Amino acid sequence: MPTIALIGAGSMVFAKKLVGDVLSFPELADSEIRLMDVDDHRLSKTARVAEAMVENEGLDATVRATTDRREALDGADYVLNMINVGGEEPFENEIRIPEKYGVKQAIGDTVGPGGVFRALRTIPTMLDIARDMEDLCPDALFMNYTNPMSILCQVLFEATDVETVGLCHSVPHTAEAIADYLGVPEDELDYWVAGVNHVAWFLELERDGEDLYPALREAMEDEDVYRQDTVRFEMLKHFGAFVTESSHHVSEYVPYFRTDEATIEAMHGEGYAERMPTATYLEGWTARSDARDDPRIDVELDDVGVERSEEYASRVIHSMETDTPRRFNLNVPNETGAIANLPEDACVEVPCLVDGTGVRPCSVGELPTELAAFDRKHVAVYRLAVEAALENDRDKLHRAVKLDPLTSAACTLDEIHEMTEELLDANEAYLPSFA
């Protein structure tokens, strides 16, 4: 009977999905599920839904809810992290201030000025969680869903003794999209993917031993297919591989697509810029936040059941508990040289074998030179952001933002410096160590 703690469980929709995933496995259906959040109102909604799932399905699982993090972590076997630190105000600052300087972030939670500043306000809490785990559940596996994925995982790799993996659904979502473009069943795709989070690459793409890249290149010549994923198809056309994050999101990881509207229109046709707007995640998050504060539960508790989603967490737990071998793309330290031409201290997203012995990253050798170059740019930003946070180093923070590909394409160095100072001033309450 594993004990599974969900930290940040006030995010009801996602927490409900993860609880349902766990309970969908008969071998895990007697688990103790501990739900923790600092917001008692939102936490209580999640707890009521989770309890209804257990009752409706007649399971032996136990659901406990608490606002005390140490109580949730005490003796846990697995810890799933989905916290959000700071709320709406800093998030809006991280999007709107760069926007004034021409840095038009699509999402802004993993990369760019938004990703760096989100990391700075999240890292202290992540370290607090890790310290509690070192004290209360030192053998637990910490599975992180919170963004910015690479920076936060790298901090935990370096500054704590907690075994940490980062989980992201971009690889299976990309496989689903590719299967749709090719008109083949997703479960018939074989692929080998590696890189860094959101900039990982389909190095191999096959079906029954046949290379599917020629078919994918042919498919993108169809205008209707191309328009569904313009940025990723442009990256495939020019750099030879399909990347693992959606066109909208990955457009802010590279310098080519979000800085000159005239060029964008000429390349992609009228209306393309409007289909890649700034701040879509902020606006959606704000709307969802309002819904979370509604005292009503927007699902019928009598109808709540157990379903299994595409998320990895429950499968990782099941593999470790039952010694069932599976392979997932996880975010792990590159200390074993999984990607030979990226730094050993980087956080990389690579295939990992998981079974009763734990998580074992696979070696993928070297990435093609051009693909590794994209990833190294972000690894450098993440390294500086980690050092800035751990050392309270303002200069390293400035340099991290100045190295960001989109920011450096949109602004001069002096403009980036001014923008970073404005972000520091606006978010002073959330970044006391930099005050």
Q: Which residues contact 308 (CB under 8 A, 6 or more apart)?
A: 20, 21, 24, 25, 314
- 16 and 97 share a domain? no
Which two structure tokens, joined as six digits, stand for 259? 């800085």
Q: Are residues 17 and 104 in the same domain?
A: no
Answer whether residue 291 is part of any domain: no
Q: What is the pLDDT of residue 268?
A: 58
CATH assignment at residue 341: 3.90.110.10
Lowest average pLDDT, out of 26-40, 152-166, 261-275, 355-369, goes to 261-275
Q: Is residue 64 part of a domain?
A: yes
Q: Where are the alpha helices (DSSP H) in 338-393?
A: 369-391
CB atoms within 10 A of CB 429: 11
The reply to whether 9 and 79 lie within a common domain is yes
Decide if 286 is inside a domain: no
170-214 pLDDT per residue, tens: 999 999 999 999 999 999 999 999 999 999 999 999 999 999 999
b (16+ CB within 10 A) / e for 11-48: bbebbbbbbbbbbbbeebbebbbbbbbebeebbbbbbb
> Are both 391 and 264 inside the same structural domain?
yes
104 and 152 fall within a common domain: no
Is residue 126 domain-shared with residue 261, that is, in the same domain?
Answer: no
Residue 93, domain extent: 88-111+169-278+311-435
Q: Is residue 305 part of a domain?
A: no
pLDDT greater than 70 at residue 347:
yes
Catalytic residue list contains 169: yes
Portion of the chain with pLDDT greater than 90, in percent? 85
Among the listed residues 179, 184, 146, 178, the one whose alpha carbon sits nearest the alpha carbon of residue 165:
146
Decide if 157 is inside a domain: yes
Answer whether residue 266 shows pLDDT above 70.
no
Tally Cβ neighbours within 10 Å of residue 369.
8
pLDDT band at 269 (very low <50, low <70, confident <90, very high): low
Q: What is the CATH number of the domain that holds 31?
A: 3.40.50.720
Domain match, 162 and 260 both: no
CA distance 111 to 150: 9
pLDDT at 300: 78
Residue tagged active-site, from 169, 198, 238, 249 = 169
Residues 179 and 59 in one domain: no
State how far the alpha carbon of 112 is from the alpha carbons of 238, 253, 311, in Å: 23, 8, 26
Say if residue 144 is in the same domain as residue 192: no
**Is pLDDT above 90 for 13?**
no
What is the structure's pLDDT at 72? 98
Q: Residue 295: is its pLDDT beyond 60?
A: no
**Predicted confidence (pLDDT) per residue in 234-262, tens digit:** 999 999 999 999 998 999 999 998 887 77
The pTM of the full predicted model, rounded to 2 decimals, is 0.94
**What average pLDDT does this structure show over 56-64?**
96
Give me the number of domains the chain comprises. 2
In this structure, the answer to whether residues 131 and 248 fall within a common structural domain is no
Are 130 and 204 in the same domain?
no
Per-residue pLDDT at 274 exceeds 60: no
pLDDT value of position 297: 65
Q: Pick from 134, 168, 202: which residue ends a domain? A: 168
302 domain residue, yes or no: no
Instruction: Say if residue 22 is in the same domain as residue 76.
Output: yes
301 falls in which pLDDT band (50, 70, 90)? confident
DSSP summary character for residue 179? H
